[in-house]
Copies of this chain bind each other. A is one copy, B any other.
Amino acid sequence: MKVVIIGAGNVATHLVHALKKINVEITQIWSFNYQNAQVLAKSVNATAINSLKEIDNKAQIAFIAIKDDSIETIAKEIPAFKGLVLHTSGSVSVNVFLGLLENYGVFYPLQTFSKNKALNFKTIPICIEANNDQNLNTLKTFANLLSNHVVEIVSQERKILHLTAVFACNFTNHLYAISQQILEKNNLKFDILRPLIAETAAKVQNTLPLNVQTGPAIRNDKETIKKQEILLQNEPEVLEIYKILSSHIKKIKE
Please report A residues at the B interface, Cβ cutoff 8 Å.
67-69, 91, 110-112, 114, 117, 119, 123-125, 127, 149, 151, 157, 159-183, 186, 188, 190, 192-210, 212-219, 221, 223-224, 227-228, 231-232, 237-238, 240-242, 244-245, 248-249, 251-252
Q: Which residues of B contact A196 (CB under 8 A)?
A: 110-112, 125, 165, 168-169
* Residues B163 and A168 in contact, CB atoms below 8 Å apart: no
* Residues A177 and B110 in contact, CB atoms below 8 Å apart: no
Q: Could you list some 10 contacts between A and B, CB below 8 A?
A: A111-B196, A112-B196, A125-B192, A167-B175, A168-B196, A173-B200, A173-B214, A174-B249, A177-B252, A181-B210
Residue A193 contacts which of B110, B177, B199, B207 (CB distance < 8 angstroms)?
B110
* Residues A125 and B195 in contact, CB atoms below 8 Å apart: yes
* Residues B160 and A114 in contact, CB atoms below 8 Å apart: no
A217 to B174, CA, bound (A): 10
Closest to A190 in B: B208
Q: Which residues of B contact A69 (CB under 8 A)?
A: 221, 223
Q: Which residues of B contact A91 (CB under 8 A)?
A: 224, 227-228
* Residues A209 and B173 in contact, CB atoms below 8 Å apart: yes
What's the minimum C-beta distance from A78 to chain B, rounded to whole angstroms? 22
* Residues A200 and B169 in contact, CB atoms below 8 Å apart: yes
* Residues B210 and A204 in contact, CB atoms below 8 Å apart: no
* Residues A160 and B183 in contact, CB atoms below 8 Å apart: yes
Closest A-B pairs by Cβ, 8 of them: A170-B215, A201-B201, A176-B209, A164-B179, A177-B209, A168-B179, A169-B200, A167-B179
* Residues A176 and B163 in contact, CB atoms below 8 Å apart: no
A202 to B120, CA, bound (A): 13
Q: Which residues of B contact A201 (CB under 8 A)?
A: 172, 197-198, 200-202
Closest to A119 in B: B199
What's the minimum C-beta distance from A221 to chain B, rounded to whole angstroms? 7
A169 to B204, CA, bound (A): 12
* Residues A160 and B188 in contact, CB atoms below 8 Å apart: yes
Residue A166 contacts which of B210, B215, B237 (CB distance < 8 angstroms)?
B215
